Every structure is written in structure tokens, then in C-alpha cells.
Chains A and B, each alone.
Chain A
């Protein structure tokens, strides 16, 4: 069964460093998303991406964040200069043309020290 994959599973970085979180969505999907979950809090929407551009972003997704689909398979989230409060589990999701169901990857746990 097709699935969304994410790498790395755990990333530790120092404050101020750049990180890139990688995702491989399901191959025939067209909509891509990033969410995050700070420990003990609810899952929050960050950004949606369709047709090679951002279709919507939350207020969390400021200028420090960017997304890219550099080739036909990968979907990346870059945090330019990490802060302590960026520590969270980051989930990638994708959905097909109907967009009703989003399939989630296993997440990347980002720890900023």
C-alpha cells in the first residue's frame, strides 16, 4: 500500500541553524501539506501546496519557513534559522484530486537546543 515517507525521523539542531525536513508524498497525489505538533498540544496546520505553489499558509508559517517541491517526488520544509519554539513533531501529508482524505507520514521530531 502506498504511503507517505519522511526523513529524518529525528533531527537535533542548534538554535539559529537551518534545517530541511524531507517528505515523499504518495506518487499520484496532487495536494501536499505540512503540519506540526508541539509536545502536549494539538496538531496545527502550517502550509498547503498545490500546482507548484503555496495555496494557503497559517500565521505560524512566517518568513523563516519555506517549502519546495524540487523534483517530481520530494516535498521539503525548510526552517531558515531555528528557534527553541520550533521544537515539535512535523508531519507531512498528501491527498489526491478529491482532496477529502489526507494521508500522513510518520513525522520528523525536531529538537532545537
Chain B
């Protein structure tokens, strides 16, 4: 079984401030981890992924995430928020043992204050 917990359903940051979105996962087998972003009235866009290898992964739009096996975490960060980062962010886990189906967290809505 696999699952994801995202801490904080809503995060508000000032423009230029650090964005930190927390994700913890549960998986009985080596996980593949993903962050997706959803802008209003749009589909899910892949931000970044961890499969194997380097534990710090970089994605689009200046985001990065670090896989920490000991903490079962995959937190998403961006050093300096931009107004265009306002969206909903979903952490997800999959594995080969589960036919690669994605299990999503509940999502975190980010608002950016000018």
C-alpha cells in the first residue's frame, strides 16, 4: 500500500519569499515520487520527479525537491516565490509493484501576496 500526506492545505507567502510545501509518503517498496501543479481550470502538470539516483531533483519554474528516505519525505521548495506560482500543488507516489498508479496527497493551495 502507498499513501501521501501533505501538511498544510493552504500556504500563503510573500512575493520573493521561500516556498516550502511538505510531503510525507508511505510505501512498502521503493517509491517513485512526483510533484504536480494545477492552475485554475487546468489539468495536472508535472513539476518534477524522483525515481532513482540523485536525491535532490530540480524541476520546472525554479522548483526543487529532496528525497529523504530516512524521513520518508519529499518536500518541495522554491527560493523566491513569484505571483505566477499561485496554484494548487499535489504530491504523489507510485511504484512498479503498484502498476505505477499514482496515489495523491490532498493538495496544498499556494497564494502569493504582493
A7: Cβ under 8 A from any B Cβ: no
Interface size class on chain A is 20 to 34
Known pairs A42-B107, A101-B49; A107 contacts B100 (CB<8 A): no
What's the A-B contact tally at a CB cutoff of 8 Å? Answer: 54
Per the bound structure, the CA–CA distance linking A42 and B44 in Å amounts to 12
From B44, B99, B104, contact of A55 by CB (8 A): B99
| Least Cβ–Cβ distance between B21 and chain A, in angstroms | 15
Question: Which residues 84-107 of A sit at the B interface, judged by CB distance below 8 A?
Answer: 91, 93, 95, 99-107
Q: Which residues of A contact B107 (CB under 8 A)?
A: 42-43
Question: Given contacts A43-B90, A100-B51, are A95 and B100 in contact (CB under 8 A)?
Answer: yes
| Contact status A100-B46, CB under 8 Å | no
Contact partner of A43 among B46, B99, B100, B104, CB < 8 A? B104
> Cα distance A90–B69 when bound, in Å?
32
Task: Give the residue of B96, B100, B103, B105 whose beta carbon is less than 8 angstroms from that of A48.
Answer: B100
A42-B106, A42-B107, A100-B51 in contact; A56/B43 too (CB < 8 A)? no
Q: Are A107 and B43 closer than 8 Å at their CB atoms?
A: yes
Of all chain B residues, the one with the shortest Cβ separation from A99 is B100
- Could you list which residues of chain A lie within 8 angstroms of chain B, going by C-beta atoms? 4, 31, 33, 35, 41-45, 48, 55-56, 91, 93, 95, 99-107
23 A/B residue pairs, CB under 8 Å, sorted by A: A31-B100, A33-B101, A33-B102, A42-B104, A42-B105, A42-B106, A43-B90, A43-B102, A43-B107, A44-B104, A45-B102, A56-B98, A56-B99, A56-B101, A93-B102, A99-B96, A100-B49, A100-B51, A100-B100, A101-B34, A102-B46, A104-B45, A106-B42
